[in-house]
Structures are given as C-alpha cells and as structure tokens.
Amino acid sequence: MRFAFGKMLVSILLAAALSACGGGGSGGPESNLPSRTFSWDPPTQYTDESNIGDPARELLEYWIYVKSDNTAFTPMDHYVIVPAVDPVTSQLVTSYDLSLAAADFSLKQGIQYHVTIRTVCMSGVASDFSDPGADVTF
C-alpha cells in the first residue's frame, strides 16, 4: 500500500534558542546548531483512499531527508530514520529536531536546507515524498 500525503502538514518551527558561537572554522558539521523542529501531521489514508486505522499501530517509521541544493528528492538520497512511535511515551511521533542530524547531513549555519519526509508502514512499504515547502536555515 502507498500513502496519500495530500493533506499532510509539514512545517518548521524556529526555536528561540541561539548558540553563543558559530562553531569552528573547519567547514564541517556544527555540533552547536540551534534547535529547528520539523513537524508534520501523519497521513490518514493510503493512496487507494483506504483509511489508516491506528497510525501508532500501522506506521513503522519516518524517513527525513535534508539537502541544500534545489534538486528533487529521490529515494537514493540520504535520510535519517525516526520511529513512528516514541519508545518511552508510546505516543505517535510528529516532530523531529533537525539539529540532531547535524552530523548526518553535514549541516552548517547560514545555509538554507530543504526538508521532506516519507512514511514507512509496518509491512516496510515507503510512501511518496511529502509536498516540498519546508525550508530551514540554522
């Protein structure tokens, strides 16, 4: 089954926290990037328009993709995996702090990044990409 993302909301919340330093001049990822929370509404239907009964039971994980160029996202692009259900609270996950992936994506301050998400159901089938439009600058 495939997921429908027509009504999926994706947004970036800019945290007020600012880091004191911009990081070293090495050109690598910065470990002290300010928090940037990427949030979404989980899909409610598969593309065949059948409903997702209980997302906490039917969704396995989310794949979050980040890139600085303006090219289309592809399944071959690098992503981080976020569990669909928080193992501590047993609540459905609907946000992720992108600063946690600074090393994974070599994120740096002052660069605009484009972000998208895919959902994976328990059977391992991945959705299409969410609609673009979530951009973030650290």
Structure confidence by residue, pLDDT tens digits, 100-125: 999 999 999 999 999 999 999 888 88
pLDDT, tens digit (0-9, with 9 covering 90-100), for 61-99: 999 999 998 889 999 999 999 999 999 999 999 999 999
**C-alpha span between 35 and 18 (Å, rounded):** 8
Q: Using alpha carbons only, what angle is made at residue 94 by residues 89 and 97, rounded to the nearest 5 degrees?
A: 95
Tell me, yes or no, whether 3 lies in a domain.
no
Tell me, yes or no, whether 5 lies in a domain.
no
Enclosing domain of residue 128: 10-137
Tell me, yes or no, whether 81 lies in a domain.
yes
Please count the other Cβ atoms lying within 10 Å of the Cβ belonging to residue 26.
Answer: 7
Tell me, yes or no, whether 92 lies in a domain.
yes
**45 and 5 Cβ atoms separated by less than 8 Å:** no
Q: Give the strand pairing for 112-121 and 59-67.
A: antiparallel
- Which CATH number does the domain housing residue 36 bear? 2.60.40.10
Q: Report how many domains make up the chain.
A: 1
**C-alpha span between 54 and 105 (Å, rounded):** 32
